[in-house]
Amino acid sequence: MEELCGADKPYLAPQKLEEEHKSLQMLCLEQFFETPKMGGDVFSAEYMKKLEIMIDEAYENFVKRNESKQLMNAYRTPAVLCLVMVLSYILSTILDMFGIESLSQTAVLGLYIPLLLVGLWVYVRYTGQLRSVGTIIDNFTSAIWDQALQPIYMKLLQRGLEQAVNIAGTSKKKKTN
């Protein structure tokens, strides 16, 4: 596993990592069964359980290390907060155009809070202090992404793909005619 996704190796797709883990786990267990042992089946079963636990723990560590290599995971928090700032600014501008000042000021507040959180997140990342605050900010932005932004993103992506398919279909019809 170290050769596949060790510290000096690039990010590996999670499906590929899991496939490699399963195949290497089977190889380890085969080697365990093929190796002659003293002490009988009782001792072998006990050590097999320990081996499986060690393999699973190592796999979990490799998964965590691999996930930390993915660029989007590393910068998800500031990206989400910056997106919230941009959306708040656009909302505040639209509300200002319609003369709804009170709601516009609330939207401006939605601009400054993420800005403060980005600054605090950067401080936590570069100093290593207040790690619990950094975790709270990461969890907060993950919830924003999962509950609000990702569904919108997926709908927009789906519409874009549908339009691309429709355009490709109409251009093929024109070429055949």
pTM above 0.85, yes or no: no
Which of 69, 86, 116 is the last residue in one of the domains? 69
Query: 64 with 79, same domain?
Result: no
Which amino acid is it at 56? D
Query: 106 with 145, same domain?
Result: yes
Q: Which residues of 133-151 are buried (b: 16+ CB within 10 A; e: fewer)?
A: ebeebbeebeebbeeebee
Q: Kindly report, residue by residue over 141-170, the tens digit of the pLDDT.
A: 989 888 988 888 888 888 888 888 888 777
Query: 23 with 57, same domain?
Result: yes
The yes-or-no verdict on residue 8 having pLDDT over 80 is no
Domain span holding position 25: 2-69
